Every structure is written in structure tokens, then in C-alpha cells.
Structure 1
Amino acid sequence: MEKSLDEKITVQFLKEVSIAKAIGLILFISAAAFLFLIWLLYFKEAAETTAGWVDQLPALNALLNSASTAFIIAGFVAIKKKKYITHMKLMLTAFVTSALFLISYLVYHNFVGHTPFPGEGWIRPVYFTILITHIILSAFVVPLVLTSYYFAFSGKFKTHRKVSRWTFPIWLYVSITGVVIFFVLNAYV
């Protein structure tokens, strides 16, 4: 006997976790991760020496963000076509590429610290507008993504759709602007 779509997608123990507990844990993890990132970027001293491969991590980060963007868009197309399992696989892959990006980003900034922008003229306010909106929205994307996954895997699909209406454009924007920031910063470094 074939499993129903609900049985294929949901995770039993998540169905038993209350929404309040799940959201509380998601917010705690998200806040801790964001505060750690702020500390790493702006308060921790950069390493005195770094390995040569560390210089390659920004390019890897841009590649991972590009991959996330492609998977997010493909996942959106799949859900519009009502291909639920394909959508789930694509969104999980987007999550994995985003998580790998975050790990690589943390490793890079652990060694390098804060990267100042040396550009001058009209590009400076454009760069900082993109960067500031990227940073602000990246603080929201982690809890939104985790909340979307919680509702999907706990079988609360109606709520999942409501949260994902916010998650999709924010996650997409953060992924795209991460790549834009890489290219603009590389043009001036």
C-alpha cells in the first residue's frame, strides 16, 4: 500500500511538538546564530595567518548562493505545478546549499574578520544599501526558513503556505544579493 502525500512529507515527532515550543526554539537558534555572526564579523580579531584556500571561500560562497537561488526558484516552479515531492526535494537542497554557504562564510570571516568596502563615489551608497538590506533580511530568513520547514514537516500545510509566502521572496532576495555583494566587492578589492 502506497503512503499518502501527508505520510511521505511529515515527520511524526514534529507533529507532536507544539507550535509555541517550535517557534520558541527556532527564534532562540536564529537569534544565537545572528549574534554569533555579529560577534565574528565585528568584535573578534582576525587570525594572524591564514591558509591560501581561505581566499577562495568568497567565490565558493557566491557559487553556493547562486545554487541556492536556482533551487529556490525551481522549488517555486515545482510547487506551482503541484509537484509536491519535487518541491520538497528542491527546497531541502536549497537549505543544504544555504547551510553550506553559512558554514563557509563563518570559516572565511573567522580567519579574515570584517571586509571593508574600498569603493568610492556613486557605488558606495548603492553597495551599502544592498548590503544593509541583505543583512537585515538575512536575520529574518533563518527563522522564516526553519518555521516553513517546521510547518511543512509537521503536516500543517496551510500554515506552511502562509509563512512561505514571506519566506520565498526574502530567501530569494538574500541569496541573490549575496552574489551581487560578492561581485561588487570583488570589483573594488
Structure 2
Amino acid sequence: MKSTLDKELTVQFLKEISVKKAIATILVVSLAAFLFLIYLLYFSDSAGASESWVRQLPALNAFLNSVSTVLILSGYVAIRKRKYKVHMRFMLTAFITSSLFLISYLVYHHYAGDTPFPGQGWIRPVYFTILISHIILSAFVVPLVLTSYYFAFSGKFKTHRKVSKWTFPIWLYVSITGVVIFFLLNAYV
């Protein structure tokens, strides 16, 4: 049974890619995405659009992060119950919602630029502690998630489990704190 399931969940061409080549590709793609994000946030001028759809994107982003959080937790519960296909579906859907979040986030910051935090007093260091930890860990999420997927779909489930022990809490934290940041920003606007 498990052998048949392993074959069903494995993507043949990924089995043929060496771990070294896969990790190198994942790191290059992740670094390129991260550098593009840094460029967009800190070095490019915003397009300056003020259409209502642009102003709605942060709420959409918080919604997508919330959905990702629920899906990640559901995937965790499924794998604990040894429901491998259900786990896979939840995690793939979490990947899709997180990818949609990233696209929406990039579009928003292309048009709106950065969003300064207007809060004062004790909430300011709380906000920046959450924000800084969120930013640092979000830089690791993309390569960790892609690496977890590579090992899962190449049939290297033992290594997938080892990587996912790091991926799960970091991805979950980044998804949750993304929503927290949205609500903290909106509480002071």
C-alpha cells in the first residue's frame, strides 16, 4: 500500500534531478525573488496608483495569509493522521494561496510603495519586533517550501520530513504574523 502511494505521489522527472542541482536551483530562484522584492520595496519608485482596488489589496493579502494558515494547520493534522493524499492537497493549496499572496503583495507595493507604521508608544516596538521577525523568516520560507516540495515529489520522504520540521513552523509563523501586521497597521490608520 505505502509503496503504491509513494509512486502515486512521486513526480518522475524530479527523481532524476540530483539533490545538489535541485537545491542550487531552489536557492537561485529564491534569492532572485527576494532581491526583486527588496528592489521593489526600497529602490523603485511606486507607480502611485490610488485606485480603490489597490487600496483593497492589503485586506486580500491578509485573507490569503489567513487561508494559508488554515491550510497549513489542516495539512499538519492530516499528516499526523497519516492521510498522505489529504496532506498533499492541503499543502499544495497552501502553496497556491501563499503564491497568490506574494503576487498580490508585489502588485500592491509596486503601486503603493511602503506603508509606514503610525502607531506610537509601547505598540511601536511590539510592531517592529513582529515585522522584523516576519521579514527575516519570510526570506527563508520560499527556499524551505520549495525544498520540502522537491523532496516530497521526488520520493525522498524521509528527507522531506526532516526539512518540513523546519518549514512548517516558519511558514506558519510568517502566515500568522502577516495577518497580525495587517491588523496592527489598520488599527492605527
Instruction: Specify the TM-score bucket, using the shorter chain as the normaliser.
Output: over 0.9
Q: Is 1:168 matched up with 2:168?
A: yes
Q: RMSD over aligned Cα, in angstroms?
A: 0.9
Match of 1:64 in 2: 64
Match of 2:9 in 1: 9
**SS in structure 2 at match of 1:4:** helix
- Runs of 4+ in structure 1 over 3 Å off: none
Deviation at 1:114, TM superposition (A): 1.0
Match of 1:87 in 2: 87
* Percent identity for Structure 1 against Structure 2: 75
Q: Distance in 2 between matches of 1:182 and 1:49?
A: 20
Match of 2:23 in 1: 23
Deviation at 1:165, TM superposition (A): 0.1
Q: What is the TM-score with the length of structure 2 in the denominator?
A: 0.97
**1:81 aligned partner, one-letter code:** K
Q: Is 1:55 matched up with 2:88?
A: no
Q: Distance in 1 between matches of 2:98 and 2:32?
A: 17
Q: Distance in 2 between matches of 1:8 and 1:85?
A: 9
Q: Distance in 2 between matches of 1:179 and 1:48?
A: 24
**1:13 aligned partner, one-letter code:** F
Give matches, 1:1-189, under 5 Å.
4-189=4-189
Q: Distance in 2 between matches of 1:59 and 1:27?
A: 30
**1:173 aligned partner, one-letter code:** Y
Deviation at 1:50, TM superposition (A): 3.2
**1:141 aligned partner, one-letter code:** V
Deviation at 1:51, TM superposition (A): 2.2
Mark the runs of 5 or more structure 1 residues left unpaired by the alignment. none
Mark the runs of 5 or more structure 2 residues left unpaired by the alignment. none
